[in-house]
Amino acid sequence: MARALAWLEKNGTEKVRGGMARYGIPAVRAFGVSVGALKAYARELGKSQPLALGLWSSGWYEARLLAAFVAEPASLGVRDMNAWASDFDSWAVCDTVCFHAFDRSPLAWGRIAPWARARAEFHKRAAFALLWGLTVHDKQAPDARFLECLPLIEAASSDERDYVKKGVDMALRALGKRNARLRAAALELATRLAEAGEGPAAWVGRSTLRELGKARSKARAGKPGRR
């Protein structure tokens, strides 16, 4: 781990570090290493769960992103996943870990419901970032698993915190893009949310309707017309 931290320190730049604030990422514990460079270095290091755990415990921003890239999802226990989720302090760490490690874990589905009830903003966002990732990476999951998450989405849609609201929105849109059956279910929920007025739930509903409406239009445009 010491070698990896030394690499991060050596390859960090003030330019990258200084630009983090524009994206809402805290730079207090950051070296300033780009995500592209981290991914390349992760390929060089290879998968290692002990390394991932050590990097995470360091508390450095890039070390935690690197931990997501070198983690062995099958080796992540519930305690590890809960501990990491409770440490999330930005959307960037939350989403990177959920998209590159947690959503490949056999324990992933069991984390969505409890995290959706979490109080901390990024811990709660993790539930929906994880669901979003599963819509892409869990090719074998039946529709029923995603449909069971719609009440969680509906309940969390009223959360006014920006990063929770956007996480819920992204999860609902991604769920609706998986197939026609899930699109219909997502559109039904989005329509109900959009009619809620002017709060965060209505915002989520309108956003999803716009996105899935575009996707449906593109699908229709791609079909050959009748002659």
123 and 159 Cβ atoms separated by less than 8 Å: no
What's the average model confidence in pLDDT over 163-172?
A: 98
pLDDT at residue 213 in the model: 82
213 Cβ neighbours under 8 A, 6+ residues apart: none
What's the average model confidence in pLDDT over 63-71?
A: 98
Task: Quote the CA–CA distance of 131 and 156 in Å, as a whole number.
Answer: 13
pLDDT exceeds cutoff 80 at 227: no
Expressed in angstroms, the distance from the first to the final Cα of the chain is 65
Instruction: Give the predicted TM-score (pTM) of the model.
Output: 0.90
Task: Quote the CA–CA distance of 40 and 70 in Å, as a whole number.
Answer: 11
- Amino acid in the structure at residue 121: E
Go through 50-72 and write b for each residue having 16 or more CB atoms within 10 A of its CB, e for each that does not. Answer: ebbbbbbebebbbbbbbbbbbbe
Neighbours of 217 (CB within 10 A): 10
185 and 147 Cβ atoms separated by less than 8 Å: yes
What's the average model confidence in pLDDT over 174-189?
A: 96
Neighbours of 47 (CB within 10 A): 15
What residue has token string 């059956």? 181
Give me the domains of the chain, ranges plus CATH numbers: 109-220 (1.25.40)
Q: What is the pLDDT of residues 117-153, one digit of tens each?
A: 999 999 999 999 999 999 999 999 999 999 999 999 9
What residue has token string 């609706």? 176
What residue has token string 């994880």? 130
Q: What is the pLDDT of residues 205-226, one digit of tens each?
A: 999 999 998 655 444 444 544 3
Treating both helix axes as pointing N-terminal to C-terminal, what angle do 121-137 and 78-87 enclose, rounded to 10 degrees?
120
Half-sphere exposure of 211 (CA within 13 A, CB side): 19
